[in-house]
Amino acid sequence: MLLRLSTEILIILIPILIFSLCFHEFAHGYIAHKLGDNTAQRNGRLTLNPIYHLDPIGSLMILFVGFGWAKPVPVNPSNFKNPRNDMIKVAFAGPASNLILALIGGCFMRLNTIFSFNSNETILISLYFFIFINISLAIFNLIPIAPLDGSQIFGNYISKYNPDMAWKLQIYGPKILMAIIIIGIITPFSPIAFIIMPIIKVFMFLFSGINF
């Protein structure tokens, strides 16, 4: 849970987390708008203003539990020319936006390693968290369990080869996801971290050269 962290780390971490979540949701709405659906625009979601993206309960969960969420961006697939493929594009926009942010942060980190133009510890720690949080958000959201973006991205592929599994992941996904998260909170073992941390480490090294 974030409240267990020091005040100094929280001051760095919370603004990065808020910005990354808002950028993720903005990306969903922006791509939907480009593909012909202006539902997000009508609801004031084509903005980076946290007021329009943050969910009160989800934000409190982040502080007290270490896991939370932002408000899902409303999308109307009937406004798309190709609803199935366009929904995949909209879903992928969120994780892709976080990976782009992480890549930008990683480039700055690598340049600093080469040229040493900044030795300020606070800035370097902020940059590290910026890269780590955005990679983590991207990889976590690619898990093919509803309501995560991965369920939309990989759902059609799974249903093609295993319709029963795809249906169960869609129906029971939220309960499965919450159970996995609770296990990680009340026990020393986190199934989600076990699955995604090796992938996060690979991207951290590829983007920034950081090996941990």
Q: Which residues are catalytic?
A: 25
Q: Which two tokens stand for residue 108?
A: 């700055």
> For residue 88, how far is the Cα from the chain centroid?
16
Give the three-state DSSP class for 168.
helix
Could you read off the pLDDT of 124-169 as tens digits, one per residue?
A: 999 999 999 999 999 999 999 999 999 999 988 888 889 898 898 8
pTM, entire model: 0.93
Work out the pLDDT band at 6, boundaries 50, 70, 90: confident
Q: In angstroms, rounded to a whole number, what is the distance separating the alpha carbons of residues 86 and 36?
A: 10
Instruction: For the chain, give the percent of residues with pLDDT over 70.
Output: 95
Name the nearest CA neighbour of 133 among 59, 46, 7, 23. Answer: 23
Could you read off the pLDDT of 163-211 as tens digits, one per residue?
A: 898 898 889 999 998 899 889 888 889 898 899 999 999 999 999 999 8
Quote the DSSP letter at residue 76: -
Beta bridge partners of 54: 70
